[in-house]
Structure 1
Amino acid sequence: MDGRAHAPAAGTILNALANERGAAFAIDLETTATVSLDDSREVRGEIDGAPEADTALIERCVELAIEEYGDCGERSLGGTVRTESEVPLAAGLKSSSAAANATVLATCAALGVDVDLLDACRLGVRGAREVGVTVTGAFDDASSSMLGGVTVTDNAEDELLANEAVEWDVLVWAPPEQAFSADADVASCRKVAPVADVVCDLALQGRYGRAMTVNGFAFCGALGFPTEPMLDGLPDVRGVSLSGTGPSYVAIGERQVLAELREQWEVRDGTTWLTTTRTEGARTE
């Protein structure tokens, strides 16, 4: 009973910490989960390259998928889950959402069941809430990773408000520092709720580049991150923002413009990727 699945990372258009509405877009960096089920009654997790990392999320996602989709009679399943990722942990690039999505789908593949992608996404969001890796539940991040393209969501209701396939070039800069979403200053973020309302309106109108730039300035201020990386790209990029609760930044625009911005971002410590959006979301092998 083995399963394997992949889910992409995502970048931020609107951070949901201010008003519980969020928007994100899938990017072509990927997390892979491999699940092997047995009758051990215990789930054991491992994150490749991070032996000390917390595996509670992926373990809980396996347990929830077994509870929801398993048909095992009196047999109590357990097993192992291992994730490998191109996405740095705690960088604001939705590594937790990608890991949860990939893990739920890999478990379903191991069980031999087909699932609705949004239902599977909501199960991973539930797991993230239960183990405390997110404040909002991150349905915006998780849905963009699961479905691909841009999603706009109401995270209070886990409701999908919009989903659109987009084809953008994307530049990502991930500093070496980490910033865990669960540790974000929520009270400070809620002070920018009026700005977030404007960003949500822009996103629902399909004005994604302007939306993410307004979001970036607002949340850099709320969370104490510098705006200089954003200013490096303006006015030439289509949009640029702090991603999630940081510390990464994402920009969209013409590829040559992004290549020039990359030269500026590479002067700083960290890693840059010049990549694209993903129109396909999570998938099983």
Structure 2
Amino acid sequence: MHGRASAPGAGTVLNALATGVGSAFAIDVETRASVELDGSGTVRGDVAEDPDADTRLVERCVERCVERFGDGEGGAVRTESDVPMAAGLKSSSAAANATVLATLSALGVDVVDEREERSARDGRVDTDDAVTRVDACLMGVEAARDAGVTVTGAFDDASASMLGGVTVTDNREDELLARDGVDWNVLVWTPPERAYSADADAERCTRIASVADTVADLALAGRYAEAMTVNGFAFSAALGFSADPAIEALPDAAGVSVSGTGPSVVAVGGAAALDTVRERWDDRPGTTLLTETRADGARIYD
């Protein structure tokens, strides 16, 4: 009983810490998961990049899938990732999505596409034998809550990673408000330090709720690049990050924001414009990565 899957990381349009409404977009940097189920009854996790990493999230993802579709199986889950951990690029959501899909594959559970998903909502798919992509995503979200690695539930990040494109969600209700396609080049600057989502000062972020409402309105109107720039300046201040990288990206980038709870900063736009931004960011300590948006989201490997 073996399964393999991958899921992309994501960048932030709107941080959900202020109001519970969030928005994110998938980027072409992946986490891969391999799951081997057996009769042990216990789950063992392993992170290729860090043997000492906390594996509770991926282990809980396997357990939740087995609780719903399995028969008490245990086993091993191993992840390897090009998404830096604790950098604001949704590494936890990517790991959760990849692990859930790999486990469902190992259990022989079908993951239905969007057309079938619409049929499922109309009662025309037997969900005892299949799971929709949104439902699979929510299994990972619940596992993240169980493991205590998220403040908001991160359905915005997880949905972008699972579905691809850009999504807007209400994390309080686990509701997908909008999904759209975006076609951007993406530049990421990641400083040497790391920041963990569970350590973010959520109470401080609620003070900018009115700004977050404005960002949500922009996102729901399809003005994603403008939305992320407003989000970036507001949440840089709330989370205690310098806005200097964002200033350096403007006016060349179409949009720029601190991603998640940081510390990475993400700029989007055309290739030539981002080359100019990269010349400035390369003078900063840390690393820069030039990639692009992803339309297809998470996927299972045969």
Fold match (TM-score > 0.5): yes
Could you say which residue in structure 1 is the equivalent of 2:171? 155
**Structure 2 residue corresponding to 1:256, chosen from 269, 272, 293:** 272
- What are the Cα deviations for residues 3-43 of structure 1, in whole angstroms up to 9, with x where unaligned? 00000000000000000000000000000000000001110
Q: Percent identity?
A: 65
Alignment size in residue pairs: 281
Could you say which residue in structure 1 is the equivalent of 2:17? 17
Could you say which residue in structure 2 is the equivalent of 1:142? 158
How far does residue 166 in structure 1 lie from its aligned partner after superposition?
1.3
**Structure 2 residue corresponding to 1:166, chosen from 182, 187, 208:** 182
Give 3-state SS (helix, strand or coil) of 2:211's partner: helix
How far does residue 113 in structure 1 lie from its aligned partner after superposition?
0.8
How far does residue 268 in structure 1 lie from its aligned partner after superposition?
1.2
CA contact (8 A) 2:9 2:94 kept: yes
How far does residue 156 in structure 1 lie from its aligned partner after superposition?
0.1
How far does residue 283 in structure 1 lie from its aligned partner after superposition?
0.3
CA contact (8 A) 2:232 2:258 kept: yes
Could you say which residue in structure 1 is the equivalent of 2:216? 200
Matches for 1:1-285 after TM superposition, within 5 Å: 1-70=1-70, 72=71, 76-114=72-110, 115-285=131-301
CA contact (8 A) 2:5 2:34 kept: yes
Give 3-state SS (helix, strand or coil) of 2:236's partner: helix
Give 3-state SS (helix, strand or coil) of 1:192's partner: helix
Give 3-state SS (helix, strand or coil) of 2:84's partner: coil
Give the Cα separation in 1 of the matches to 2:98 and 2:287: 24
Give the Cα separation in 1 of the matches to 2:192 and 2:65: 33
Give the Cα separation in 1 of the matches to 2:94 and 2:190: 17
How far does residue 238 in structure 1 lie from its aligned partner after superposition?
0.5
- What are the Cα deviations for residues 84-142 of structure 1, in whole angstroms up to 9, with x where unaligned? 00000000000000000000000000001112110000000000011100000000000
Give the Cα separation in 2 of the matches to 1:49 and 1:84: 6
How far does residue 272 in structure 1 lie from its aligned partner after superposition?
1.1
How far does residue 260 in structure 1 lie from its aligned partner after superposition?
1.1
How far does residue 174 in structure 1 lie from its aligned partner after superposition?
1.1
**Structure 1 gaps, min length 5:** none
Give the Cα separation in 2 of the matches to 1:63 and 1:260: 46
How far does residue 190 in structure 1 lie from its aligned partner after superposition?
0.4
Runs (4 or more) in structure 1 with deviation over 4 Å come to none
Give 3-state SS (helix, strand or coil) of 2:241's partner: coil
Choose 99-108 or 263-272, whichever is displaced more: 263-272
CA contact (8 A) 2:49 2:81 kept: no
Give 3-state SS (helix, strand or coil) of 1:63's partner: helix
How far does residue 273 in structure 1 lie from its aligned partner after superposition?
0.9
How far does residue 191 in structure 1 lie from its aligned partner after superposition?
0.4
CA contact (8 A) 2:183 2:293 kept: yes
Q: TM-score of the superposition, structure 1-length normalised?
A: 0.98
Give 3-state SS (helix, strand or coil) of 1:191's partner: helix
Give the Cα separation in 2 of the matches to 1:69 and 1:170: 38
Give the Cα separation in 1 of the matches to 2:284 and 2:253: 19
Give the Cα separation in 1 of the matches to 2:65 and 2:281: 40
**Structure 2 gaps, min length 5:** 111-130
